[in-house]
A and B are shown apart, each in its own frame.
Chain A
Amino acid sequence: MLNYQNGDQRAFRELFEIHQKPVINFCFRFCQNRALAEDLAQEVFLRVYRGAAGYRPEARFNTWLYRIAVNVCLNETRKIHYRVQVDSIDRPGPKGGDDSPKQICDEEQADPGEKVASKQRGEMIARSLAGLPDQQRIALALRTYQEFSYEDIAGQMSCSEGKVKTLIFRARQSLKEMLKDFL
């Protein structure tokens, strides 16, 4: 990141290569729509590109990156009053290419029965996440998928650690109810 601040375009390209997939997935978990998730992720990287000068080296780049991602996602909900639409995990995205999301493989997944079950489970998880309030969904995603500490998440969401703790607790309580058939 420091190299990039010194004008090294190649350093930015490397950051983009490393972080594009996790950022897309973070946005996807937020909006459950591939096309929108990729637009949001591109907006995140454009802001990183433009805002390199505002990056403080004392913050880890990863923490800063997701602070931007949180802002972009929350802005999106303010901008458009969109209805969260759950993409079928089989439906190809509108941009072509290798669009089918990859399920992280279980050994049993070769079994067609398990494939169907896994697909249903994936859709149910997506629907349950979509049913959470935005802030709970963001806090839980930052914790579960990006593995940030409560302190980092508090910084990214501009709130207290206590609030983060409550958001994550409530998200888990709701998911426990919604996903009880899969637990």
Chain B
Amino acid sequence: MKKTCNINPKMNQLLSAFADGHLSEKDRSLVVRHLEACDLCRDEYAAIQSIDRLLRKSEELEPSANFADSFWRKVDAMEAAKERKAWFNWRDWGFRPVWAAAAATLVIASGVFLYHRTPFRALDDAGDSTGLLIAEDIDLYDDFEVVQHLELLEQWETISSMEEI
């Protein structure tokens, strides 16, 4: 059954803040004067103090024997993940242009190679454009692996964002 002070119904709330030393000077002296005069509030204040004492007496856990070890393992795992991520970033931003350059070089090299192959040379000599021939017969690219995987380079953003890569 809750008892409320008849003289000052707000006293209960003030007493809690008073116990914590969180009252303005004005409220503090109001409470001090009230406590001298009111038995009910004196009991209430004593109850607050015993609750605090009781709580402070309650059990204290010691960290488990492997608490620290298991924490540092988590830190190691986190650091390792960070390193992996850094490597992906490097590959994402550093490696991709290398692939693109390699692909471009191979495309040019294949063009030169195809250009120098006799049939095309003959055709070229006959006035046809090599580029046009290749464009018409796209299967000619299939011998060159990087060219086959050009679509992968286009999808690199998506692929590199996948966890397992």
Contact = CB atoms under 8 A, between A and B. Distances in A.
Given A101-B59, A125-B55, A42 B20 contact: no
Nearest 7 pairs of A and B residues by beta carbon:
A97-B65, A95-B64, A169-B16, A101-B59, A125-B58, A101-B61, A183-B50
Contacts of B65: 95-98
Contacts of B48: 172, 176
A104 B54 CA distance: 11
Contacts of A175: 51, 55
A21 B52 contact: no
Given A42-B70, A125-B55, A183-B51, A102 B60 contact: yes
Interface of B: 2, 12-13, 16-17, 20, 22, 47-48, 50-52, 54-68, 70-71, 74-75, 78
Contacts of B51: 172, 175-176, 179, 183
A39 B75 CA distance: 13
A149 interface: yes
A41 B64 CA distance: 12
A121 interface: yes
Contact of A165 (B17, B60, B66, B75): B17
Given A46-B74, A150-B22, A183-B47, A126 B59 contact: yes
Contacts of A21: 60-63
Given A165-B17, A172-B16, A46 B75 contact: yes
B51 to A, nearest CB: 5
Given A97-B67, A126-B59, A183-B54, 12 more contacts: A16-B68, A20-B71, A24-B63, A34-B64, A42-B71, A46-B78, A95-B66, A98-B65, A106-B57, A145-B56, A169-B13, A177-B2
A53 to B, nearest CB: 13
Range, interface on chain A: 35 or more
B59 A16 contact: no
**Which secondary structure characterizes the binding site on chain A?**
helix
A165 B74 contact: no
Contacts of B75: 46, 49
Contacts of A20: 63, 67-68, 71
Q: Count chain B CB atoms within 10 A of each CB in A37, A172, A183 and give the residue with the most.
A: A172
A122 B68 CA distance: 26
Contacts of A46: 71, 74-75, 78
Contacts of B62: 21, 98-99, 101-102
A66 interface: no
Given A38-B63, A95-B65, A102-B62, A145 B55 contact: yes
